[in-house]
Amino acid sequence: MGAFTRRWVLPVLYLTDNWISRIGLWLVMSSIVLWIFLTGASEASGYLGILQFVALPVLFFAGLILVPIGISLQRRREAPDHHLHLPERIELANPKIQRLLIFLAIATGFNLVVGGALTYRTVHYMETTNFCGTACHQVMGPEYAAHLGGAHAQVRCVDCHVGTGTGAMIQAKLNGTRQLYLLLTNQHSRPIPSPPHALKTSAETCENCHNRNHDFGEKLWRQSKFDDAGERLDTALMMKVGRIHGAHMGGGTRIVYQAADQQRKTMVGVRVEKGGQTEQYSNGGTAVFEREMDCLDCHNRPAHAFETAERAVDRQMTAGALPQKIPQFRKAALAAISKAYPSREVAAQQIPGELLAYYKKNAPEAMVLHKADLERAGAQLLALYQLNVYPEMKLTWGNYPLHKGHTDSPGCFRCHSEDLKTKSGKTMTQDCESCHKVLGVEEKNLAALKELGG
Ligand code: HEC
Ligand code: HEC
Ligand code: HEC
Ligand code: HEC
Ligand code: HEC
């Protein structure tokens, strides 16, 4: 022990009394302290992984290299004759050892206070919607913009995309690191697949705020559009929300489905566990994964929904944000925004002109009559386009379907179809009335709506 102290520990202590070694020591200590802070911080964003798994190790090893460099330089300075005059023992009275201890104390204090505060702030910043949405602008831009205008704008990206607990956090960091690599090497998918990685359960997300047993009863669902002559056509349903929710998530019911793809667009089997009995529906296809059905299998676009061009135009015409009475407006608007533009910049230059060009060609008299309205509508259509279409991400109208319905994509009919059967030939209901009462479809002056006070 004595020989070891004299030959190894003493020279190291004695010879680290120089700035190069001190900086090295400081880097080594700081990276260890930061590592511990980062690991302790729960539900961090994936990009912290870069800091922890890439930057900190680099600093750590750089520090490790600086320490011996400083030692060897000092050794040359202090003992040009290769004969170093070391004290006998480690003595607190030795000013070199004192300086080292003071340095270590200051560095440790600094690390704990500054490092701790910095990491705390970084972790919190990285959990904000702002960070997730803007750090890699082109890639997350579409979801970020759509999220801002949605019902859940106050719910942070990480609340739905990063679960709670250390396991989820480490997984998120590894994911984030891999995503950053794909981004830097320009290899990420276009558009980003949904979900981007494993879906969280609604128990971890939605059900922090929503009660799955809340009975919504029946609810009027309506939508309108305008025909070429500017007449309003109404569709109205009485949606049996309470029954729909109860059938899939009511007490004692558990539905587990088997899907043929990660996007869960095609189902190959459904298992219902209810009242101690199990029933399996199947079409004999091969499953890629299995999941217990919850809110996210119907409300799959709660935060960042993208629309089809038709829905977007109809919604805005109904709200009066786009003109209702100009002849052929719906057709002209859809023609202008559905065209494939090479980039958002080109679309910005051409969409307003496309709308006017349609009228010049097909209805010049309407164009003369409504010129100012059409110019305003051109700008509005461009805004709609920019919320939904990102050629750089190969993201266009209706790329991300909503599962809560059956008109734009199979939605409910992924399961409620002739295709999936039990052994005895039973299928899930396809009776319109078990989900909604149809009050009218694309009708003028819908009487049922008038009765309801619409
Ligand atoms: C209320 C929950 C929720 C919030 C908040 C949320 N997401 Fe999502 N996100 C989802 C769900 C659910 C999916 C899977 C969608 C599907 O399967 O169709 C998803 C999918 C995605 C995808 C894959 C592509 C796509 O659009 O389907 C990206 C990228 C994404 N989210 C980014 C974000 C970003 C960035 C934010 C914050 C600005 C955010 N999300 C906020 C629930 C959420
Ligand atoms: C942080 C709390 C919170 C979380 C988490 C949350 N919601 Fe909500 N949700 C709300 C609030 C508040 C409203 C009412 C917003 C309003 O009326 O403007 C709402 C409204 C809704 C609506 C009706 C409005 C609409 O967009 O159609 C649905 C459906 C909904 N949430 C589903 C979900 C689903 C599915 C999830 C999980 C992915 C979820 N929510 C997660 C708080 C939350
Ligand atoms: C089987 C599909 C399905 C599942 C699962 C499901 N919902 Fe719904 N939900 C619907 C439909 C359909 C509607 C009515 C249509 C609409 O409002 O657009 C609806 C309506 C709602 C509304 C709006 C009610 C209103 O009065 O505006 C909320 C909030 C909601 N669901 C939350 C949830 C939550 C939270 C979960 C999970 C605990 C969930 N839903 C699970 C299909 C589903
Ligand atoms: C993953 C498969 C799956 C999807 C997707 C699905 N369902 Fe179902 N649904 C079922 C199963 C399974 C049952 C039967 C449960 C049982 O046997 O009690 C069911 C039952 C129902 C019932 C009760 C029928 C009755 O006679 O009482 C309604 C209503 C319903 N679903 C509506 C919907 C709606 C609306 C959607 C789309 C928004 C939807 N379902 C999507 C699997 C699904
Ligand atoms: C399994 C449940 C279910 C069944 C069965 C079902 N629907 Fe629907 N239907 C829905 C839901 C959910 C929506 C859309 C709600 C939304 O978009 O929020 C919808 C929407 C519609 C719409 C509005 C279309 C639009 O513009 O979005 C019409 C029309 C409609 N259904 C007609 C029918 C008819 C007719 C039948 C019978 C042949 C039928 N549905 C069977 C659940 C069902």
Give the pLDDT score at 2.
65
Task: Give mean pLDDT, residues 129-147.
Answer: 81
Cα–Cα dist 10/16, whole Å: 10
Instruction: Say yes or no to pLDDT of 137 above 80.
Output: no
What's the confidence (pLDDT) of residue 297? 96
Ligand 5: atom nearest CA of 402 is 17
**Mean of per-residue pLDDT scores for the chain:** 87
Cα separation of 264 and 244, whole Å? 20
Of 128 and 27, more confident? 27
pLDDT for 34: 80
Mutate which of 233, 235, 237 for ligand 5? The one with the most ligand atoms within 8 Å of its CB, which is 237
Residue of 96, 104, 54 whose CA lies nearest to 74: 96
The residues, any chain, with a CB within 8 Å of residue 139's CB and separated by 6 or more, are 183, 188, 192, 393
Gyration radius (Cα) of the chain, Å: 32
> Residues of 281-317 as b/e, b for ≥16 C-beta within 10 angstroms?
bbbeeeeeeebebbbbbbbbbbbbbbbbbbbbbbbbb
Q: Is 388 in contact with 312 (CB distance < 8 Å)?
A: yes
Q: Which pair of structure tokens corresponds to residue 366?
A: 């309407």
Total count of residues recorded for the chain: 454
Cα 151 to ligand 2 centre (Å): 6
Q: Whose CA is nearest to atom 9 of ligand 5?
A: 405
- The verdict on the CB of residue 304 being under 6 Å from ligand 1 is yes
pLDDT over threshold 60, residue 158 = yes
* 11, 18 Cβ separation under 8 angstroms: no
Phi and psi, residue 141, nearest 5°: -50, -50
